[in-house]
Amino acid sequence: MMYEAQRALASPVRNPRMATVIGRLLGAAFLVCFGTGLYSHFLQEPQDWMRFATRPEYLYQVTQGTHIIAGIACFPLLLAKLYIVFPDLFAYPPLQGFVHFLERASIALFVGASLVQITIGLLNTYQWYPWPFPFRQVHFALGWVLIGLLVIHIGVKLPIIARYWSKSSGSGDDSGDDDHLVDAVSADRASHAEAVRLSGASRPGGVTGRVLDYIDATPQVTSRVSRRGFLTTVGVATTAVVGLTAGQTFTPLNAVNLFAPRKKGVGQQGVPVNRTSEQAKVADAAMASSWTLTLAVSGTERSFTRAELLALPQTEVRLPIACVEGWSQMANWRGVRLRDLAEMMNAAPETAFRLISLEQRGSFSKTQMGSEYVRDPLTLVALELNGETLDLEHGYPARMIAPGRPGVLQTKWLSRIEAIS
């Protein structure tokens, strides 16, 4: 029965060369996701010794944009890969001892965890969270698990991967090493069909026999056409899902942004919004005339009203807001350099700061900023956005904007900035 199933599943695209070709693309996409994901993680949860690059100022836009682009490319690639190796599900005997069991179990976990990882990642960008666990922690842990499983998988399959890595390793003709394999499959089908025909009335009995008979009566597609068709399909599908969503971060594709969860320029003052003042419950405190921004450095505190901040030297910068969810939006910001404020408070150059929002709850109501950002001339306490007073949804009365950091760390509705000793 298992052999019959495998036979029915035979197809010119289900071969080790194709598994290698698609597998290495998928593996590369996983590694890119993991690398960019780790970068995003450590930006948000830095170890003490970590310092980050502040240039190019669109660095995080690129890394996280790439994370989501490569992540979305995983959908067609993973499905293609699973399509290729599907017959392995019916390997017979199903288990050949403990090592084989471990191998199959690791593959099952690999498949399941990969599907979960890309699904929760995608839905997270839609701000839809239908799962019973915390996204960030699970996505992070699964990232490690998946990379581990990927490395194990490569180790287990290494001889096959090595053998089928390059096209020329086999018979040398244009269609690759696996040709004989495929021809044999065709021959198999042809001979089976022939046998059925010759045997006349004695058609194969049983459900499986009938099903196989039905399948054998389908038109033959040559292996070359099948393979090219398959690769073209994967290529077109990947191009489509990426091309029709990447416009949310990659401006040249803005015009064909049909399916991304964000659209450039859509939002107050031309900038999309993530956390709203309503969600953060800050509207009253932010609009109060008594609002001040307090700076605290080694025991000294000083409070600034918005008017006082506006009276200080103003700097205009052009920086993107780049969200962990992969969208980004370039904008013009105007405000006071954080560096100037730090100097005014006599903070030592290597001082890191804690940024505190009016928001009482929420995981990013208090965040930290390393000295490399504090000292950067592009880092502002922003008071204006795209030529207007900062909208409440963008953090009025004052917010942070710094180069190369995720949006969650560009603290809105600032209330207090204190030196970390």
Partner 1 sequence: MTRPDADGSGHETSRLGMRAHKNAVGPNPGDGSTERVGNGLNPPPAGITPSSGRRMRNIRLVLVGGGVLLMAWGALVMFDSVRPARIPGVALWIAAAIVLHDGIVAPIVLAGGIALRRAGRRITGTVVVIVQSGIVVGSIVSLIAVPTLVAKNFAPANPTVLPLNYGLNLGIFWVVLAAVTVGLSVWAFLRGRHPAETFPDDSGR
Q: Which of residues 314-373 bind partner 1 (CB under 8 A)?
A: none
d(CA 144, CA 417): 34
142 CB contacts (<8 Å, ≥6 apart)?
Answer: 113, 116, 117
Q: Map residues 174-213 to x or -, x wherever contact with partner 1 holds by CB under 8 A.
A: ----x-xx--xx-xx--xx-------------x-x-----
Residues that bind ligand HEM (CB under 6 A): 30, 33-34, 37-38, 40-41, 44, 67-68, 71-72, 74, 114, 117-118, 121-122, 124-125, 136, 139-140, 143, 146, 324-325
**Which CB, 325 or 372, lies closer to ligand HEM?**
325
Nearer to partner 1, 244 or 312 (CB): 244
CB 323 within 8 A of CB 63: no
Task: Tell me the closest approach of the beta carbon of residue 145 to ligand HEM, in angstroms.
Answer: 9
DSSP per residue, 214-244:
HHHTSPP--HHHHHHHHHHHHHHHHHHHHHT
Question: Residue 298 touches which of partner 1, ligand HEM, none (CB < 5 to 8 A by kind)?
Answer: none
Which DSSP symbol is given to 406?
B
Using alpha carbons only, give the angle 123, 126, 130 rounded to the nearest 5 degrees: 45
| Least distance CB 106 / partner 1 (angstroms) | 9
Comparing CB distances to ligand HEM, the nearer of 58 and 140 is: 140
Q: Are 336 and 383 in contact (CB under 8 A)?
A: yes
User: Do residues 90 and 119 lie in contact, with contact meaning Cβ atoms separated by under 8 Å?
Assistant: no
Question: 400 near 280, Cβ under 8 Å?
Answer: no
CB closer to ligand HEM out of 245 and 277: 245
Q: How far is CA 202 from the centre of its chain?
A: 55
Cβ nearer to partner 1, comparing 293 with 320: 320
Sites for partner 1 among residues 88-147 (CB under 8 A)? 88-92, 96, 103, 108-109, 111-113, 115-116, 119-120, 122-123, 126-128, 131-134, 137-138, 140-147
Region near partner 1 per CB under 8 A, out of 61-69, 227-235, 283-291, 356-364? 227-235
Phi, psi of 203 (to 5 degrees): -65, 150
State the number of CA atoms in the 13 A half-sphere of 161 facing the CB. Answer: 14
244 binds, among partner 1, ligand HEM, none (CB under 5 to 8 A by kind): partner 1
